[in-house]
Amino acid sequence: MGFQKFARGTAAMALVMGAATAAQAEPLKIALVETLSGPQASTGLLYRDAVKYQIGKINEAGGFGGEPIELLEFDNQGGPVGAADRVRAAISEGATVILQGSSSAVAGQVTEDVRKYNLRNAGNEVIYINLGGEAMELTGSKCHYYHFRTSPNAAIRVNTLLDGMKEADVLGDNVYAMNQNYSWGVDVQDNTVAAADRLGFTVVEQTLHDVNKIQDFSPYVQRIQAADADTVITGNWSNDLLLLMKAASGAGIDARFGTAFLDQPGNIGNAGAVAEGHFLSAPFNPEVNPEETAPFMEDYKSVTGHYPSYVEPATVFGMMLLQEALKEVEPTENGLNAADLAVALENATAETPMGTISMRGADHQAILPMIVQEVSLDAQYKADDTEYGFVPIKVISAADAEQPVQDSCQMKRPG
């Protein structure tokens, strides 16, 4: 008797609960598939901070379809294999949007997995928002309709950097291209060589080296010196950048470095005076548009505990694009329809402290302003508790920073 009553009660409860969920739209699930543990986790954790920050903002403003957005975190452990597995897990847990940023190698895997999944599950697609994989192939030969890149790419980085350095009259005639031997490094090298005629410099030598395996860069520095380079353009990041700069400074070489990732936390702290005078092209600088940027800096710090740097600002801006796109989409009874969101994202623009950023429909590459900056004692916001920081030299508008769509991008559109 007792059991029967209990069973009947439970069944009734289940019915009521079932009805309640059916009436409400499913909350939107966004999955962050990043490197959250292991040696490369430092960058992955920055992506997480930035994503959490902006999703918090979106949820404060009402979330999606009246429900807060749910952020799922998956640790890809730094490699494409882990990422493939985690992307599957994310999709099976109901994520409609997948976010990932660190490493073009991982991005290449994720974008292929998403493309294949969408082929097999028409009508039930997922969207991949690439927050930081900057290799050209991701919006070139590997481009597809459900991939969106919100960060700059190698062509944008290198051309804005070279333009800014040329205009500041620090580029010199002899440029050395020193890069890591994988998709991103090769792209930086190719774009440096391609810009030589336009800007009137000579690429005296090109070197590709192993990624994050080299302790001693002095033999490479010797080559820079032998080539009589005025400027070294490098896409190197992390230790490969630090050790290269330190070895060059130790050898007394005064070649100036033009970099893409000098603002990674720890770099300025470790290099100290060695970094002074080196250049960086990045989508953010805290001294540009101070009346809008300063409140953003302080707000970000109050939420996450630190000022935004490195990949964080661009990630926040990318999430702003997603926020604007979500405003244009109506939830269906099954939650978000990815095809609707893709249409909205293609046409999205967002107002950021750095200016307007927008998504280009032809290859799904974000068009965004870039700031060419120099490491200097005069910076208002110091990096890594040192006396150095980044001073903006030239703000390049989104229109000027834009690079042409690659011919290799054959995007198949639905319908």
The residues binding other proteins (CB under 8 A) are 39, 41-42, 45, 181, 207-210, 212-216, 218-223, 225-226, 239, 242-243, 246, 250-253, 264-267, 269-270, 272, 384, 386
CB 232 to other proteins: min, Å: 15
Residue 90 vs 248, nearer CB to other proteins: 248
CB 310 to other proteins: min, Å: 10
Residue 172 vs 272, nearer CB to other proteins: 272
Distance CA 221, CA 27 (A): 54
Cβ atoms < 10 Å from Cβ of 167: 14
CA-CA-CA-CA torsion for 218, 222, 225, 229, nearest 10 degrees? -70
Residue 125 vs 263, nearer CB to other proteins: 263
Residue 146 vs 388, nearer CB to other proteins: 388
Residue by residue, DSSP assigns 231-281 as EEEE---THHHHHHHHHHHHTT--PEEEES-TTSTTHHHHHGGGGTT-EEE
CB 181 to other proteins: min, Å: 5
Q: What are the tokens at 415?
A: 């319908």
Residue 225 vs 356, nearer CB to other proteins: 225
Residue 366 CA: distances (Å) to CA of 17, 59, 285, 399: 43, 24, 18, 11
CB 271 to other proteins: min, Å: 9
Sign of the CA dihedral with 312 first, then 168, 193, and 223 last:
negative
Distance CA 211, CA 243 (A): 12
Q: Taking each helix axis as running N to C, give the angle between helix 154-167 and helix 183-194, from 0 to 180 degrees, rounded to the nearest 10.
A: 40
Give the burial class of 156: count Cβ atoms within 10 A of its Cβ; 0-12 exposed, 13-18 middle, 19 or more buried: buried
Residue 39 vs 415, nearer CB to other proteins: 39
Residue 197 vs 216, nearer CB to other proteins: 216
Residue 251 vs 344, nearer CB to other proteins: 251
Q: What are the tokens at 298?
A: 């302080």
Residue 116 vs 306, nearer CB to other proteins: 306
DSSP 138: G
Give the burial class of 415: count Cβ atoms within 10 A of its Cβ; 0-12 exposed, 13-18 middle, 19 or more buried: exposed
Q: Do 236 and 213 form a contact (C-beta atoms < 8 A)?
A: no
Residue 9 vs 250, nearer CB to other proteins: 250
Instruction: Report the phi/psi class of residue 300: left, alpha or beta, with left for phi > 0 and alpha for psi in -120 to 50.
Output: alpha
Q: What are the tokens at 336?
A: 């978000």
Q: Do 162 and 135 form a contact (C-beta atoms < 8 A)?
A: no
H, E, C per residue of 185-227:
HHHHHHHHHHCHHHHCCEEEEEEEECCCCCCCCHHHHHHHHHC
Which of these, 225, 162, 50, 202, lies nearest to 396 by C-alpha position? 162
Rg of the chain in Å (alpha carbons): 23
Residue 282 vs 366, nearer CB to other proteins: 282
